[in-house]
Structures are given as C-alpha cells and as structure tokens.
C-alpha cells in the first residue's frame, strides 16, 4: 500500500495532490526549484526537497535529481500531476526500475496513447472517427507533402505533451515553415520532444472531452463530458460539465468510444479522451491525455467523485465503481485565472500584495496563491481556478459571475497580512546541483 508520495510537480496541482493524500492518510514530499522555495505546496507537504535552479529543464524535468529525491525520502510512489513529466514514458520506466509506483498508466498505455499520432492510428483501427491528418513528420519535406495532402487551414500539433503547447494554426503555405519551427521549439522546451504531426483544422468545432477511470482489473467507466471550447491561443480558459449541446444519446456514444479506446490499450488510472464535435453532431477523436487534467474539478463537482484520490486508489489496486453508480448532478463551470496583463494578455510577474479568494455557496477555489507570494517568470501563468456549481446551468453561471466579481473587488488595494514563514529547516533537504 502507498504510504508516502513524492509530488513531482508544482503550483496548484501540487497543492491539490497533497490535499488528497492528506485526506487519505498518506504522507507527501514536495519537489521545488530554488525559485519555488516559498511556494504553498512546499509549505503544505510533510517534507520538501530542492531539485535545482529555476529553469524547468534543470529542476522539474531533471529526472536524476527527482529520482534521487524519491530515494532519499523513501517514498513508495510518485504522482506527476499534469504537464512536466506526467506523460513521459521514459520517466515511468525509471520510476519502476527503482521500485517506485508511478501513479498513472503503464508505460505501454502511455506510449500508445501519449503519442498523439499513434493514438489517432489506434482510434482509427477501432473504427472511431478521426480528423484527417498525418503521422509523425520527421523533416520539412515530409511536412510540406503532408500539408499539401491535408489542405489549408491546418493545425501543427506536438506529438507529446498537452496543455495547448506546441500547437499552431496555419492558414496558407507561406506560413508553414515558420509555424513548424515555432511548434517544434515550444514542444522541445515544454516536453523535451520536438516531434510534430499535422491535422485538418475544423472550423467552428466544439472541444468535447470524456473523463474515464480504469482499474487494474480491466473495468473502465466514464464520468461524462466536459466542454472546453472557450479557448485563447489553444489554451483553455473556461470549461463546463455537462456540455450544453451534448444530449444523453450522444454522451453514451462518446463515452463508449472512450471506454473502448482505453480498454484497447490496457489503460489504468484517470485519463481523458478528447473529441471534436462539428455542427452536424459528428464527433472525431483528437487525442488522449494520459494524466489528470487542469479541468478535472468540474467533473468532480457534478459527479461527487474525487479523481485524484481515484488515481491513488487505482495505483493501490482498488476497483473503480460500476458505470451505473456514476450520476451527473447539476452543472459546473471552471474559469482559469492567469498571471497576465488584462489588457494585452502579456505575462505578468511580481509579488502578490493582496489575495482574497471568493467563496459562498457552490464555489471552489484551487490555487497556490497567498498574500506575499511572488510570481516568478519561469513557469506557466496559471495561478488559480475558480469553479462554480449550480442545480442548473444558469445558477452555475450566476455563481461564477459573482465569484469573479468578488475576486476583482476583493483585491483592489494592497493590505498587510500576517507574515507566513518558510517551513523549519529540518523539513528541507539539500538542493541538488546539476
């Protein structure tokens, strides 16, 4: 049984995992870079280890340092959160070679589904519709030929990772070389993998994703859908569940397709199968995320199921519930709060002088913020997720509008709060150098 978990991430998802472990009676060890020494996840964990300087390649993506941290703190398992190493099959292999349980899918399932081009091929073999596209493209000539075959507009997509990273929309042939270079560069920086493939761009399609849970006994269930269509620069901003345009029949068909895909690759743990839904109600498989997602909160709000706890329970060998036990109640929305200038949407850094999160009925806030916390320039801009729940969609929207107004009006002026000091030195280990 898992008794101690290394949380191999940072920010709000690290806080989320630590809280789930605490409720399960599991000890946690936080990783942090030198820039994150004062981060909330460090303060909440039972122990903390510095794994390097601020750049993620020298800290949160430094596998030798992370494994060393796991070994010296004698953890049983590693939870990767989302992003960073969450979909890195080689990292899973290394964890297993050191007798560490990876809280996520197997290497084989991750390689098959985590590679988005291979996942598309698998879906096609199962008879699940896919958007017209290519396999992984190794050189510029292959990209040019594939683009000519697919036609414009098209999408360039990173074969690894997620979160909207490594994606570019290309409207015409002259724009292709620069977009390819930018997509490869971003993919390499975000995931350590610059491979790309091409996909036809569907105009006005909705982004619908199905949440699944799969245990080690072969049972796979779905927990309904999330609508993630409101995006900016391929980054999701607002998510909701259930989708306002998905009826029971369509939900059942998409849910069964997602379960069939997960079973075909022997998937275990939580995962998300993403689809595009056109105006005619036709759905097309897009990709599978082999990890917990940022927007998992809305599914938790409408199903009452704690997905992070289920990841840990599945890793412990526990069975998931029967499909008929999953009931969707009410409606939930999530808004992402980012460290950006609200006029130009440019990155914003600095010290949080005042932070007063919203509250009240039906409101949940997932964040690593606190008054006095400093936002560094090295990491993703996501700071906070506000989630609302209502009996019906209008109530969920009204509660979200209230919560957003509270956050804006509650934080106009700096205030002096009680200082929050760093943990005692005994909780910190030495910082590994690279």
Catalytic residues: 291
Name 6's Cβ contacts closer than 8 Å, sequence gap at least 6.
28, 29, 31, 66, 69, 70, 73, 75, 77, 78, 79, 100
Distance CA 129, CA 112 (A): 17
Distance CA 30, CA 424 (A): 14
Q: Is 6:29 a contact under the CB 8 Å cutoff? A: yes
18 in the Ramachandran plot: left (φ > 0), alpha (ψ -120 to 50) or beta?
Answer: alpha
State the pairing for strand pair 363-367/382-390: antiparallel
Name 145's Cβ contacts closer than 8 Å, sequence gap at least 6.
none
Longest Cα–Cα distance of the chain, Å, equals 62
Q: Is 411:355 a contact under the CB 8 Å cutoff? A: yes
Residue with tokens 């209230």: 402
């Amino acid at each position: 049984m898992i008794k101690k978990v290394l949380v191999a991430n940072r920010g709000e998802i690290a806080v989320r995992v630590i809280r789930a472990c605490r409720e399960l009676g599991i000890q946690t060890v936080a990783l942090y870079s030198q820039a994150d020494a004062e981060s909330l996840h460090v303060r909440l964990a039972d122990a903390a280890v510095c794994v390097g300087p601020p750049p993620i390649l020298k800290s949160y993506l430094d596998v030798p340092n992370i494994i060393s941290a796991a070994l010296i703190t004698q953890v049983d398992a590693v939870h990767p959160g989302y992003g960073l190493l969450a979909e890195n099959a080689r990292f899973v292999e290394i964890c297993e070679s050191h007798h560490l349980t990876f809280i996520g899918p197997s290497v084989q399932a991750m390689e098959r589904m985590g590679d988005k081009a291979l996942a598309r091929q698998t879906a096609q073999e199962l008879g699940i519709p896919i958007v017209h596209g290519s396999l992984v493209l190794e050189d510029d000539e292959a990209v040019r030929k594939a683009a000519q075959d697919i036609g414009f507009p098209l999408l360039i997509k990173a074969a690894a990772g997620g979160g909207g990273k490594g994606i570019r929309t290309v409207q015409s042939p002259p724009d292709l070389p620069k977009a390819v270079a930018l997509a490869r560069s971003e993919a390499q920086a975000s995931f350590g993998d610059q491979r790309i493939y091409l996909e036809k761009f569907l105009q006005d399609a909705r982004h619908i994703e199905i949440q699944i849970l799969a245990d080690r006994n072969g049972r796979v269930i779905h927990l309904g859908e999330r609508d993630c269509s409101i995006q900016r620069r391929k980054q999701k901003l607002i998510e909701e569940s259930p989708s306002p345009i998905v009826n029971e029949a369509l939900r059942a068909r998409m849910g069964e397709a997602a379960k069939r895909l997960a079973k075909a690759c022997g998937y275990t743990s939580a995962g998300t199968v993403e689809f595009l839904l056109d105006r005619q109600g036709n759905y097309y498989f897009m990709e599978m995320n082999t990890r917990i997602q940022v927007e998992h909160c809305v599914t938790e709000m409408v199903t009452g199921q704690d997905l992070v706890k289920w990841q840990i329970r599945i890793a412990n060998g526990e069975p998931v519930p029967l499909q008929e036990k999953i009931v969707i109640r009410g409606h939930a929305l999530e808004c992402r709060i980012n460290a950006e200038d609200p006029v130009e949407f440019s990155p914003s850094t600095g010290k949080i002088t005042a932070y007063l999160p919203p509250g009240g009925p039906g409101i949940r806030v997932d964040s690593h913020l606190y008054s006095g916390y400093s936002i560094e320039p090295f990491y993703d801009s996501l700071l906070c997720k506000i989630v609302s729940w209502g009996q019906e969609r209008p109530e969920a929207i009204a509660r979200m509008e209230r919560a957003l107004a509270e956050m804006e009006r509650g934080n106009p002026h700096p205030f002096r709060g009680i200082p929050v000091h760093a943990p005692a030195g005994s909780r910190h280990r030495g910082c590994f150098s690279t």
